[in-house]
Amino acid sequence: MELTAVGINYRSAPVALRERVAFAPSRLAEALRSLMALPAVREGLILSTCNRVEIYTVMTGEQEAAAGCLRAFLSTYHQVAESELVPHLLSWRGAEAARHLFEVASGLDSMVVGEPQILGQVKSAYAQAHAEGACGLILERLLQRAFAAAKRVRSETAVARKAVSVPFAAVELVRRIFGTLEDRRVLVVGSGEAGELAARHLFAHGARDIGIVDRSSSGRAGMLAKDLQARVLTFDALFDELAAADIVVSCTAAPHAVIRARDVEKILPQRGGRPLFVVDVAVPRDVEAGVGMLPQVYLYDIDDLREIVAENLADRRCEAEKGREMIAREVERFQRWLANLDAAPVVVALRRRVEALCEEGRRKAQGLLSNATEAECRVLEAMSLAIAGKMLHFPLAALKNAGNEAPRYAQALRALFALDDEAPDEKVRPEDAASCPLLGCRVAVTRAVLQAGSLVQLLGERGAQGVEVPLITLDAQGLEAEQERALAALSSSDWLLLTSQNAVDFLWRTLEAKGLDVRALGGVRLAAVGEKTAAALLSHGLRADQVGKGGGAEGLVSLFAQDDLHGCRVLYPHGDLTAGTLCTALEAQGAQVCAPVLYHTRPAREQHAHLRELLRNRRLDVVTLASGSAAESLHEALAGEDALLDGVVVAVIGATTAAAARSLGLPVHVEAQKATAEGLVEALERHFADEGTSEFP
């Protein structure tokens, strides 16, 4: 199946032809049903506006046949000969179709670059297709990515912020002259389309004393005045109002001048020398040229405004290029997701199968341990999940990197793990890719080398690619005295507290360097901050007596609150950037704490250039941060080029890391509340599952 789109627009076809192939809103549902009835069409969406008629589909079969099928549909449905349609018809496929839709939704393909109405029209087309069941998995994802792209382009560039219509330009000219409009008396002559736009934009930029002059005080002028809390005036009162006004914007459809020089000259004495600014946006002109020759009267016509429009259009084109760079990144992300879509059922099914086997083994092992404590049960569960992850890592990595061979690899995995033997109601369909929101994402893992493996493994299980870019490094240089202090305290301590896998690893290095083993711990009781640390202890043949919940120091402190620690000697080996909170809490409960530093945490500056290259070449979708020191190293690595993170999701573990990142001016898009690798991956999955579903400006 492939994404295929055809259509005509204001560039390719005259308005007469666009009118003939436009889909009336009242018949759009019927047209969608006719489109979906075509044998090759699996998903479909019709976008029909005054400037374009485009059909987006997911189709089976050859590309030429697919485009021909859609040509025939347009021709037959609207009774327009194909020979008349074909010279003006455009077609897009695959990535080009996605790019075109993203540019359309962002206003970059509009006649007026950056105009906002098109996004609402795309959303309406999506809502109609969704209501008719025409939007399936691929178009659903495509439209959500289009909305996300439009949001970024509109919020992160100035493509829609400068006037490119005459009424907008008139208001911008007035603002350039006056700055604030809050205390200015404004007169708008005419309440047609141009007059309404001018009045609304004057109001939006602070004008509150607005008079609207029209032939009648009812009808359109009255409704506009009600919306803007303005005064409605007839032409009989025009010159009395001119005597008091600061600004006049005239935009009637009159065939002759409505403001003459001799009439303005009569009211000048009443103005007491105050300047009067008149902006004439009408064609033919509303204001005689002689008005601009009067003292203290400044007249601007449509030719003056065209300079502003041209200047702003040039600025918009420059901003549009920035927008297209953003869209290129979004298209690349969508194409990666699409390329991995066929692998999604295998990823989900294999994960289910392996986790089920490991869970079965865990239950059997737990059954053999009749007196297993709750902590031991949690350690068993953590170990079974770790085994499942290790089993999944290599086959899934091979599948993701298989390229054109992916279908063959997927078939081999199905056969090797008997994935096709599942009951019909348990089989995984491509639609279940929704359960793989990280599929194809490239995630930078900035943890130290010793810690990175578990997160890379977890990401791989979810179909993501973990890219190791360790921004911090751990070492024990110059800590020999601290190591001796730790060893000396072992034999006399009541408790040994370990708050990370790093602490376990460096403690064992210290023991081995002195030719010691687990017997050196004697009768010391062991406490681990969480299941991962407990599993690290178990790998050395030691069982934790206490295991904290939640993976943070707070959970361990609350656990010890149940015991009387008064007078207990607690050994707490740690890294140079941790200790304070836990030491203070334990000492507050009467414990005697010995807290030697076993390792340093330093920025891995040799990785900074590599990270910048990955970001500059748009090879990362996510950067993860697990500590404040990693955030500091990332900030240093950017070297002032904060724009390298544009379009990249920054995900952090815990409020402390988030606060550290924000204090450095780094963006934080995802904040995992659970201080574990699993918590971070779950938070990322929620982010990417929800992304693009909210309303955008």
Residues labelled catalytic:
50
Distance between CA atoms of residues 361 and 354, nearest Å: 11
Any bridge partners for residue 281, and if so which? none
Question: Under a CB-based contact definition with an 8 Å cutoff, are residues 134 and 145 in contact?
Answer: no
Residue whose structure tokens are 């400044």: 298
Q: Is 695 exposed, middle or buried (0-12, 13-18, 19+ CB in 10 A)?
A: exposed
Distance between CA atoms of residues 479 and 486, nearest Å: 11
| Residue 393: both structure tokens together | 């890592």
Chain-centroid distance of CA 125 in Å reads 22
Question: Under a CB-based contact definition with an 8 Å cutoff, are residues 233 and 217 in contact?
Answer: yes
* Max CA separation in the chain (angstroms): 109
Distance between CA atoms of residues 67 and 137, nearest Å: 21
- Buried/exposed code over 630-650 (b: 16+ C-beta within 10 A; e: otherwise): bbbbbbebbeeeeebbebbbb
Task: Assess whether the previous peptide bond of 284 is cis (omega < 30° from 0).
Answer: yes
**Listed residue (473, 472, 470, 469) closest to 615, CA to CA:** 469
H or E element: which one contains 145? helix 137-156
DSSP character string of 463-492? T-EEEE---EEEE-TT-HHHHHHHHHHHTT
**Listed residue (157, 159, 170) closest to 116, CA to CA:** 159
Phi-psi region of 575 (alpha: psi -120 to 50; beta: other; left: phi over 0): beta
CA distances (Å), origin 485, targets 5, 430, 474, 519, 575? 71, 58, 20, 18, 14
Any bridge partners for residue 474, and if so which? 601
